[in-house]
Structure formats: C-alpha cells, structure tokens
Amino acid sequence: MTKRGLGKGFESLIPTDLVEEDFDPTAAEDEKISDLRVVAIDTVVPDQDQPRRHFDEEALQTLADSIREHGILQPIVVVPSKHGTFEIVAGERRWRAAKLAGQAKIPAIVRTLGAQHKLELSIIENVQRSDLNPLETATAYLKLKNQFNMTDSDIAKRVGKALSTISNQMRLLGLPDYAKEALIGGNLSEGHARQILALPDEKARRQLFDNILKDGWSVRKSEQFVIGYKKGNSDEPTADRSTSAHKATMTETDVTRAIAARVGLKPESITQKTTAHGGAIIIKFADEKELAQIQRALGK
C-alpha cells in the first residue's frame, strides 16, 4: 500500500500516520493542486493566526535529535506568502524541530491558499458520501488532521460526527494489511477491527483475526478474547479459557433474567473452549412461593 512521505525513522518520535494514497478519496484532485518540493527552511514562516504558541522545548529537542539521525518523514504543508516566503498551514512543530536540528532545507507540500481551501471543502464533502469504505473515510479524517491543522474535535464539528467516531475511525488505519483487506471486502466489521487493534502484538492480532473469520466469532466474544489475553499475560490458551468462562457467566446472567431466580452454571471443564459439551444449570429458590414463580417462568 502506497504511503506519501519522505524518509524513515522512529514511529514514536516522528509522525508516521501518513496518508495512504490507496485510500485517499481526493488523491487525484490533490495531485493537480499540490507541489511537493524541498524549500529553504529560512523561507518558511509560522502562521501568525495559529492559536498554538507554546511548544514543549524538551519534546522539540527530542524530535530534533531524531531528525538529525533519520530525516523528516512527513512534509509540512505551506502556502506562498509575501516576499517569496511560505506560510505554514500544518507542521509547525516539525519545522521548529528541523531548525533546532540545523537543517537548511525542509520538504513541503506547497498549495495556494485558494487550492488549500478548495481541497478542504472537497475532503469534507467526500466524507459525507455513503459509498466510501471505512478506510477511505479514515484517511479523509487523517488528511484533515495532518494537512489542515485540525484537531479531532475540529474535524468532528466540521463533518457533524461525534468525537469518538472520528478517533475510532482513524485508528482503523493502524490495522495490519490483511485485516484492512477483510474490512474493505466486508468480511470484517469495524467492531471486530477495533478488538484486533486492542491487542498488543501481531501474533495475538492474527490469532483473533483467524478466529473471527474461521469460527465466526461475534464482537462480544472477540472482546472477551482481548480481555482474557491481557489477563493471561499474553498467553493465548488462557485467553481462550477466559473467553469460555465469560460465555458461561453470560449464560448464567441470561437465564437469571429470564426466570427471575438465582442461577449457577457449571461447565464440565473450564479448560474447554466453549460450554457446548455439557454442564449443569442449578436454579436456587428460597421458598415454595419463589419455586412457583420459577415454574411459571418455565411454562410448568
């Protein structure tokens, strides 16, 4: 999958959430109005209307150290300004860190102010479409964040969505490629995808993905696998046992609600992956009156 960006470096220090061209609904339009070039760093000036004025010096120095070693992954976005300068639209932190690192030049996406505004409107219009797949929508949100200096809250307001929706959607871009393909193909739901993302390592993610596709796991069961995996100290069999145990507990709760009585459910073996191989349901009652209520609930 193609990613727009320059260089390689530490993901924790330099932004690597680059826009994937494969999922960018405005890629063709962007190409017509954007000029990716390397410009002299002294010709770049910050946006005077930028509300952010404070930049953590220690964090900037850490980023500058990484830039010295690995370069800049993601170009800043600028518009031509007066006297041959370029005004920053997005990426002021990167620009400041690059100056600290002693860089003479910096990669920049150059757009006219009119083109920048037109592209912003186009992206917002695109995310209102119903035919975009989840990754295309996520990429559009990410583009607004990275290239238009918008916060998640700003994006939520502009597109009329809940803040949590914006954040959750963009997280989908962190899925492994095989999960992205399944999501686009309709074989994986967004709910399932979020559970895969909740796992800490690739082996566990692949295990859950296979369980979802091969065994038809529900989102709820996937969630319990994640909980079990983490409680089991990254041990997959323990995660499976926890999933099974939760299934038993949920059945107990369901029966309790159905007959308004205390219920105890005992699977044959807690090591089984499911309770489908048998078990015992114990219904408890305090007196004859409660027994009569249970009988009525059971149709006796």
* Type of residue at 71: G
CA distance 87 to 116: 12
Rounded distance between C-alpha atoms, residue 143 and residue 293, angstroms: 60
Q: Hey, what are 296's tokens?
A: 């009525």
Whole-angstrom Cα distance, residue 194 to residue 273?
Answer: 23
CB atoms within 10 A of CB 16: 14
Q: Which residues are catalytic?
A: 92
CB neighbours (10 Å) of residue 30? Answer: 21
Six-digit token pair at 74? 């993601």
Please say whether the beta carbons of 7 and 118 come within 8 A. no
Between the alpha carbon of residue 155 and those of residues 138, 230, 251, the distances in Å are 11, 33, 41
Tokens linked to 291: 């027994």
Q: Are 171 and 182 in contact (CB under 8 A)?
A: no
- Which of 138, 135, 142, 87 is CA-nearest to residue 109? 87
Please name which of 49, 119, 120, 35 lies closest in space to residue 78, comparing C-alpha atoms.
35
- Residue 184 burial (CB count, 10 A): 15
Residue the block writes with tokens 């405005």? 26
